[in-house]
Amino acid sequence: MARPGLSAVSLLLLAAAPFAAPAQQPGAPPVVPDLAEPGADASPDRQAPPFRPNRQPQAQPSDAMPMRTIESAEDAPRYVIAPVLTVDQERLFAESAWGQRAQRQVEAAGQKISDDNERLAAQLSAEEAQLTERRATLDAAEFRRLAEAFDARATAVRRERAQAVTDLNARADADRTAFYKAALPIMGDMMQQRGAVAVLDRRTVFVSLDAIDITPDLITRLDETLGDGADLPTAVLAPDTDTGRPAPDAPQDDTPAAGD
């Protein structure tokens, strides 16, 4: 009879690599890599990819059509009254007090996930080695029972660790969504002040004057009005009716108990 597999611990070891928090796009959801399905054959020597952040698809300048911003003359007004304005969405979030607070939380929670992954992987690896040593003193039926129980627990821990990353992704995404929702009326006021009927993402504009870029002024106004977003009332952070996403919460401890 074939020896029952003890390779489930290697599935957890796949999750032990450090969590890579987004650097350029805070709040953009990292994603769990393509891990083997529970029960699949996994060699302890198998090299698996670490957790990596997922960058949401963004409009990128084409090599054939370089996008650029033309600087205004030194004596030109700091901004102009124009029907169309531009904003750098990524910079708006990344340089705002809200975005920087969100980035710190994601990095802290991601590091904790990474530390917990390493701790649990080491613990299960030690248990696997101990069970292997006991094999010589156990009858086949008892060894099979213990090995299958170990495999089931290791697989459950792996799933829980993957869920911890998924939950962090969801919180970061919800926080980002709440930021843009809260920024919308403030952006609307700025549009009216400058006589605009539309605001475009700078990355979708072929050529534009820097005078119509409202990003720096909008960041200043958002920081003055919203702060870092942590203390805003629930009504401001309510889920978007189109997405159904929950309001952002502070990262919670998703670490399973070692004996679960």
Q: Residue 214 domain-assigned?
A: yes
Q: Residue 53 domain-assigned?
A: no
Residue whose pair of structure tokens reads 């005078």 in the numeric block: 211
102-134 pLDDT, tens digit per residue, is 999 999 999 999 999 999 999 999 999 999 999
Contact 118, 16 (CB under 8 A): yes
d(CA 145, CA 147): 6
* Closest among 52, 51, 41, 49 to 10, alpha carbons compared: 41
What sign does the dihedral 127-132-133-138 (CA atoms) show? positive
119 CB-side CA count, 13 A = 12
Considering the entire predicted model, what is its pTM? 0.63
d(CA 199, CA 24): 22
Those residues of the chain that have pLDDT short of 70 are: 1-67, 72-78, 233-260
What is the model's pLDDT at position 209? Answer: 86
Residue 52: strand pairing partners: 31
Q: Residue 232 domain-assigned?
A: no
How many domains does one find in the chain?
A: 1
What is the model's pLDDT at position 232? Answer: 79
What is the model's pLDDT at position 198? Answer: 95
Q: Residue 103 domain-assigned?
A: yes
What is the model's pLDDT at position 73? Answer: 65
* Closest among 119, 84, 80, 104 to 27, alpha carbons compared: 104
DSSP state of 50: P
Q: What is the DSSP string of 181-204?
A: HHHHHHHHHHHHHTT-SEEEEGGG
What is the model's pLDDT at position 176? Answer: 94
Q: Residue 259 domain-assigned?
A: no
Range of the domain at 209: 8-26+59-226
* Closest among 248, 247, 179 to 218, alpha carbons compared: 179
Q: Residue 238 domain-assigned?
A: no
Q: Residue 46 domain-assigned?
A: no
d(CA 136, CA 153): 22
Q: Residue 247 domain-assigned?
A: no
Contact 121, 12 (CB under 8 A): yes
d(CA 222, CA 76): 25
- The values of phi and psi at residue 125, to 5°, are -65, -40
